[in-house]
Amino acid sequence: MPWIKTTPYEDAGPELRNVYGAIYALYPADYAVPVASLVRPDGGSDSIVAAHSLVPEAMRHMMSGLAVMMQPHLPLTRRQHEMIAAVVSVQNQCFY
């Protein structure tokens, strides 16, 4: 679990749940499938989106931009998005 308070979608009130919905609605449909490596043994997941949940409007703005940049009508493929993400994360020695 993150080291600050976070509120996952399941526990969110109406305002925060609305922000979660707005962000996830922007992601291409195939991104809705959970990434297996990020699912905890208890079945939950540590979401980088939820890490922003104390400030819902910041969460909305910070996390929407990436979704827009990954739209399928743009030149890069999903495979290319993920290659970039993987190599950047390796350079930063970051699990996420």
Determine, following the binding rule CB under 8 A, whether residue 27 of this chain makes contact with another protein. Answer: no
CB atoms within 10 A of CB 51: 16
Q: Which residues pair with 39 in a beta bridge?
A: 45
How near is the Cβ of 26 to another protein at its closest, in Å?
14
* Interatomic CA distance for residues 40 and 76, integer angstroms: 30
Please provide residue 8's backbone torsions phi and psi, each rounded to the nearest 5 degrees: -70, 165
Determine, following the binding rule CB under 8 A, whether residue 86 of this chain makes contact with another protein. Answer: yes
One-letter identity of residue 34: P
The smaller minimum CB distance to another protein, of residues 43 and 91, is found at: 91
Total number of residues that touch another protein (CB under 8 A): 43
Determine, following the binding rule CB under 8 A, whether residue 78 of this chain makes contact with another protein. Answer: yes
How near is the Cβ of 5 to another protein at its closest, in Å?
10
CB atoms within 10 A of CB 16: 19
Site of interaction with another protein (CB under 8 A): 1-4, 30-31, 33, 35-38, 46-48, 51-52, 62, 65-66, 69-70, 74-92, 94-96
